């Protein structure tokens, strides 16, 4: 516990960390209290008030169906997190387990799993997401699964590598020579050592998931209406941009704000938790890049 507390204190000591922390806390607060702080029902249609400019009643104006832009962005926060967190955690859990198995047991299982992971990795996430959602249809669950599917190979690869390197550590060899069973070694010794670097990636992946999700929705393959998803808001705002630009302002600001906050926090966490990853991330940019894909 004190270790966690120490990590948090060290993160807060850095300006990037404290700013990121503040943004993330604020985002979580908005998501939790959305129905309380949103001035209107995000789905309430009022055709008489279409494309209203900002006013005291509607701080960010209204959209093409007269709905309150601000309320939609606020409720969208909830949805963004409700998809991003489960997606990343599912990718993490699946990648961790399969990677552990592939790395520790090796052999044919390893090869099969690696080829599967590589096949998924050979598609850009957005393209993979588009193709898969076309196949399985659009829903919140499917979007979550598709994002998890496009992220999990990274975890598999990473977990496999970690398992490979830890497995050759002297103390594991000692355990094995003492006759410890495979399951015991995998879950009691390998797993705990693999968690910290993987958790760093989890932290860095939350904004990636938010961005992929909104991107798919923007392209028309997101969650079904009336969910005020940020990507859907961008899509609808873009369609009507010739009439009013106001519906775009809120979601654009929200995405920049939230992704920057999570990235700041994630990077600080990475720098503190695992300097090795920090170096790698900085050199290859792979972890940053992923969201762009």
Partner 1 sequence: MITRRNLLLSAAALAAIRPLGAGVAFAEGTTLRFGPQLDPGTLDTLTNVYDYPFPPFSTVYEGLTSYMPGSEWKPVNRLAETLELAADGKSISFKLKEGIQFHRGFGELTAEDVKYSFDRATGKVKLYPDAAEGDVSYYGGDFGSYKEVQVTGKYTGVIVFEKPFAPMLRLTLPYATSGLIVSKKAMEALGKEGWLKAPVGTGPYEVVSYTPNKELIMKRFADYGGAAGQDAKSWPWDEIKVSLVNSSSAPTGAALTAGVESGDFDFTYNASPLDALRLQNNPAVKAYIVQQPMSYNFLQLNVLHPKLANPKVREAIRYLIDVPALIQAQDLDVATRLNALIAPQMGVGNWPEAPLYERDIEKAKALLAEAGVSALELDLSAPSGGSATAATVMQVIQANLAEGGIKVNVLLTPPDTYIKDKAVGQLSWSNYGGAPDPFYQFEWFTCDQFSQWNWAFACNADYDKLHEELAAERDEAKRTEIAIQMQKLMDASLGYIWVNHQVSCAVTAANVEAAFDPNGNPYLQYFKKV
Partner 2 sequence: MAGYLLKRLGGAVVVLFLTALLLAAAVHLVPGDPARAVLGAHATPELIAQIRAKMGLDKPVAVQLWDFFSGLLHGDLGTDFVGGVPVTTLIGEALPDTLALAVASMILAVAGGVPLGIAVARRPGGILDRLTHGLSMIFVSAPVYVTSLILLLIFAVKLRYLPAMGAGQFSDPVNYLSRLILPATALALFWWGYLPRILRATMLEVLSAPYIRSARAFGFRENVIFYRYALRNAVLPIIAIFGLMVGYSLTGTVFAETIFGRSGLGTLALSAIDQRNWPVIRGVVFTYALFFICANILADLSYRVLDPRVRLSEEFETGV
User: Whole-number minimum distance, CB 163 to partner 2, in Å?
Assistant: 9
The least CB distance from residue 42 to partner 2, in Å, is 21
- Answer for which of 35, 224, 279, 285 binds partner 1 (CB under 8 A) is 224
Positive or negative, the CA dihedral 23, 255, 45, 64 is: positive
As a whole number of angstroms, the distance between CA 236 and CA 238 comes to 5
Q: Measured from the CB atom, is 143 or 259 closer to partner 1?
A: 143
Q: Give the DSSP letter string of 197-225.
A: HHHHHHHHHHHHHHHHHHHHHHTT-SPPT
Instruction: Classify 157 as helix, strand or coil.
Output: helix
Q: Smaller CB distance to partner 1: residue 88 or 233?
A: 233
Which pair of structure tokens corresponds to residue 207? 């904004």
Phi, psi of 76 (to 5 degrees): -65, -30
Give the one entry of partner 1, partner 2, none that residue 240 binds, where binding means its C-beta sits below a cut-off of 5 to 8 angstroms depending on kind: partner 1
- Residue 19 or 43: which CB sits closer to partner 1? 43
Distance between CA atoms of 63 and 239, rounded to whole angstroms?
A: 11
Residue 216 C-beta: closest distance to partner 1, Å = 11
Among 74, 79, 232, 265, binds partner 1 (CB under 8 A): 232
Closer Cβ to partner 2, 34 or 156, answer by number = 156
Q: Among partner 1, partner 2, none, what does residue 89 contact (CB within 5–8 Å per kind)? A: none
The residue among 125 and 143 lying less far from partner 2, judged by its C-beta, is: 125
Which among partner 1, partner 2, none contacts residue 6 (Cβ within 5 to 8 A by kind)?
A: none
115 sits near partner 1 (criterion: CB under 8 A): no
Please check whether residue 206 is in contact with residue 262, taking contact to mean a CB–CB distance below 8 angstroms.
Answer: yes
- The residue within the footprint of partner 1, chosen from 1, 36, 47, 115 (CB under 8 A), is 47
Residue 214 CB, shortest distance to partner 1, in Å, is: 13
Phi and psi torsions of 62, nearest 5° = -125, 165
User: Taking CA 120 as the corner, what is the angle to CA 199 and CA 135, rounded to the nearest 5 degrees?
Assistant: 115
Among 8, 22, 26, 65, which residue interacts with partner 1 (rule: CB under 8 A)?
A: 65
* Shortest CB 208 distance to partner 2, Å: 9
- Map residue 74 onto helix, strand or coil: helix
Number of C-beta neighbours around residue 17 at 10 A: 21
* DSSP code for 47: G
220 is a contact residue toward partner 1 (CB under 8 A): yes
Q: Which residues bind partner 2 (CB under 8 A)?
A: 16, 114-119, 121-127, 130-131, 134-137, 153-154, 157-158, 160-162, 164-165, 207, 211, 214-215, 218-221, 234, 238, 241-242, 245, 248, 252, 255-256, 259-260, 263-264, 280, 282-286, 288-289, 291-293
Sign of the C-alpha dihedral computed for residues 163, 166, 172 and 173 taken in this order? positive
64: helix, strand or coil: coil
CB 47 within 8 A of CB 225: no
- Comparing C-alpha atoms, which of 184, 219, 258 is closest to residue 29? 258
Interface ranges with partner 1 (CB under 8 A): 43-45, 47, 50, 64-65, 133-134, 137-138, 219-221, 224-226, 232, 235-236, 238-243
């Amino acid at each position: 516990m004190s270790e966690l507390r120490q990590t948090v204190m060290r993160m807060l000591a850095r300006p990037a960390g404290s700013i990121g922390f503040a943004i993330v806390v604020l985002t979580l607060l908005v998501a939790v209290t959305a129905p309380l702080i949103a001035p209107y029902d995000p789905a309430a249609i009022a055709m008489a008030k279409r494309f209203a400019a900002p006013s005291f009643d509607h701080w960010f104006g209204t959209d093409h169906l007269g709905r309150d832009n601000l309320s939609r962005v606020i409720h969208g926060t909830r949805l963004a997190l409700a998809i991003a967190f489960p997606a990343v955690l599912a990718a993490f859990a699946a990648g961790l387990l399969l990677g552990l198995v592939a790395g520790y047991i090796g052999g044919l299982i390893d090869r099969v799993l690696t080829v599967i992971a590589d096949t998924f990795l050979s598609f850009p996430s957005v393209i993979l997401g588009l193709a898969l959602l076309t196949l399985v249809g659009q829903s919140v669950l499917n979007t979550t699964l598709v994002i998890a599917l496009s992220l999990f190979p990274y975890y598999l690869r990473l977990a496999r590598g970690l398992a490979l390197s830890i497995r050759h550590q002297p103390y594991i060899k000692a355990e094995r020579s003492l006759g410890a069973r495979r399951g015991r070694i995998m879950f009691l010794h390998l797993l705990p050592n693999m968690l910290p670097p993987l958790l760093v990636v989890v932290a860095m992946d939350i904004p990636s998931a938010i961005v992929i999700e909104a991107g798919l929705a923007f392209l028309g393959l997101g969650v079904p209406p009336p969910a005020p998803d940020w990507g859907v808001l961008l899509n609808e705002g873009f369609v009507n941009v010739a009439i009013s630009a106001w519906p775009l302002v809120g979601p654009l600001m929200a995405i920049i704000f939230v992704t920057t906050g999570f990235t700041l926090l994630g990077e600080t966490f990475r720098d503190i938790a695992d300097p090795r990853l920090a170096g790698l991330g900085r050199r290859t940019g792979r972890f940053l890049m992923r969201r762009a894909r």
